[in-house]
């Protein structure tokens, strides 16, 4: 969800680097913490997708605004890349890959307006969450001269949905509601002339999108900021969407760059204090020992021991089960090492990226379990882990050096009259941040699920907090 004109800080994600980004279009400060060097930050998949061609524009521009009988007058600024993409998307089913905040919703509104001008059917737009669905519903209402719009939800009675489906020209819904209705044959998609799929990278596996797409054979407009991290995932998305046109834009493209304001990026490196490095060395020694044992058995050999990721460690479990299906002894031994490696890897991640307090909470919760696994019992008894726990308990000073940096940046931003959003990887970090920013107007914002740090927020509560933030009733989210 984009919030215009609000300063943003991404905080406490990775250990070593802090990037300070200044967005000149909104006096927005964006800070992100990462362990990668600047040249490693972005994996460029755009060359794989890019398909730019000469496009015949389908829209009229008048005094710098889109002029269309279904679009409210002087409501949509005419931006070249949006008009080009929308025009292309009208020709055939299209996947649009566009960075967040560059107007994917506007493109879908333009395509919808033109389709409704020339087609007799209705438009269905599906989004993965109710807040996103509400956002799109209100955006279409804001820009289009169309009355027959309806938003579905699971709380709406099925009979009411059937009634509204028959009358509506545009329907907004989460995919699960539509999938359930289709399975129960309450209606079908035969009169849908355009299916808009938001967050289209989710169109894989058994997600509800695939169930809808399997029952639809018409025109598709799919929207995403990133279709996937590798060609295999991207191909699966494209195949499930059944698109034959892909429109990709970055801030450097010819028809985009005039509409993008400059961004300054400043990297700041943080170092762990010596006490934290000593704790890290003990846990890492334990982890590397477990990795060496697994490598001797034929696992984790596709990369150097120091480069084994959590993903590879987790994947090793399935490989062990498959390889030793008839040798229970080797299976259990290998699984024991794999499980302890995962425990150590997570402890290291918390120490490096979150801090001493969060790492200590992780160990405390493991200790407090009434039923510990064999791997957990052995992990907690190992002299190196015992030593590292002692180091955590004796540690004095800030939980992580990034907290000092974060506090300086946030207080400086607030003093300049800016608002700030702080993103953190885990909820245990939120109380520490709020404590460090004592004296500022700050609000906690989390998902719906109950966490170890307290209860979740209902969607209504989330919306109320964001509305108050937009009104600048507090400084930091």
Average confidence (pLDDT) per 10 residues, the chain, 477 residues: 35 42 46 44 46 73 95 95 95 92 94 92 95 93 96 92 96 96 96 97 93 96 88 90 92 80 75 95 97 93 89 93 86 94 96 93 94 95 97 92 92 94 89 93 90 79 92 95
pTM to 2 decimal places:
0.65
In this prediction, residue 263 carries a pLDDT of 67
The predicted pLDDT at position 425 comes to 86
Report the pLDDT value the prediction gives residue 45, as an integer from 0 to 100.
47
Is the distance from CB of 106 to CB of 59 less than 8 angstroms? no
Please give the pLDDT value at position 329: 82
The closest alpha carbon to 84, from 106, 116, 62, belongs to: 106
What is the pLDDT, as a whole number, of residue 292?
95
> Which two structure tokens, joined as six digits, stand for 64?
């710098």
Place of tokens 């993409």: 85
Give the CB-side neighbour count of residue 300, counting CA atoms within 13 A: 30
> How high is the pLDDT of residue 44?
46
pLDDT of residue 39: 41
Give me 304's structure tokens: 């150097």
In the Cβ-directed half-sphere of 321, how many Cα atoms lie within 13 Å?
A: 6
CB 477 within 8 A of CB 469: yes
Kindly tell me the sign of the dihedral angle through the C-alpha atoms of 339, 345, 349, 350. Answer: positive
pLDDT at residue 464, as a whole number: 93
């Amino acid at each position: 969800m984009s919030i215009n004109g609000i300063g943003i800080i991404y905080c406490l994600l990775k250990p070593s680097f802090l990037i300070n980004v200044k967005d000149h279009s909104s006096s927005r400060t964006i800070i992100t913490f990462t362990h990668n060097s600047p040249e490693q930050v972005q994996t460029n998949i755009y060359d794989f997708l890019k398909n730019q061609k000469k496009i015949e524009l389908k829209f009229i521009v008048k005094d710098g605004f889109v002029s269309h009988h279904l679009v409210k007058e002087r409501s949509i600024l005419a931006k070249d890349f949006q008009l080009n993409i929308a025009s292309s998307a009208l020709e055939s089913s299209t996947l649009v890959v566009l960075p967040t905040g560059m107007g994917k919703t506007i493109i879908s509104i333009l395509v919808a307006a033109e389709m409704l001008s020339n087609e007799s059917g209705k438009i269905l737009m599906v989004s993965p969450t109710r807040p996103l669905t509400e956002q799109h519903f209100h955006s279409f209402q804001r820009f289009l001269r169309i009355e027959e719009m309806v938003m579905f939800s699971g709380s709406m009675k099925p009979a009411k949905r059937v009634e509204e489906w028959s009358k509506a020209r545009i329907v907004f819904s989460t995919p699960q509601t539509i999938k359930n209705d289709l399975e129960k044959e309450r209606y079908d998609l035969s009169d849908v002339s355009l299916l808009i799929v938001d967050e289209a990278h989710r169109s894989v596996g058994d997600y509800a999108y695939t169930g809808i797409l399997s029952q639809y054979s018409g025109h598709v407009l799919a929207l995403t900021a990133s279709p996937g991290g590798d060609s295999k995932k991207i191909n699966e998305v494209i195949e499930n969407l059944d698109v034959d046109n892909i429109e990709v834009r970055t801030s450097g493209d010819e028809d985009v760059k005039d509409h993008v304001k400059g961004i300054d990026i400043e990297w700041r490196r943080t170092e762990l204090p010596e006490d934290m490095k000593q704790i890290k060395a003990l846990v890492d020694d334990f982890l590397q020992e477990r990795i060496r044992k697994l490598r001797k058995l034929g696992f984790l050999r596709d990369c150097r021991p120091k480069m084994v990721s959590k993903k590879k460690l987790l994947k090793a479990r399935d490989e062990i089960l498959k390889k030793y299906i008839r040798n229970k002894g080797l299976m259990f031994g290998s699984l024991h090492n794999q499980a302890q490696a995962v425990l150590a890897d997570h402890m290291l991640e918390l120490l490096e990226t979150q801090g001493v307090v969060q790492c200590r909470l992780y160990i405390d919760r493991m200790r407090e379990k009434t039923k510990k696994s064999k791997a957990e019992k052995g992990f907690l008894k190992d002299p190196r882990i015992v030593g590292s726990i002692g180091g955590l308990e004796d540690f004095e000073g800030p939980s992580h050096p990034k907290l000092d940096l974060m506090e300086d940046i946030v207080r400086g931003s607030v003093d300049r009259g800016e608002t700030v959003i702080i993103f953190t990887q885990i909820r245990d970090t939120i109380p520490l941040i709020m404590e460090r920013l004592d004296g500022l107007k700050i609000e906690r914002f989390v998902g719906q699920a109950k966490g170890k740090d307290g209860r979740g927020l209902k969607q209504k509560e989330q919306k109320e907090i964001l509305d108050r933030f937009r009104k600048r009733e507090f400084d930091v989210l």
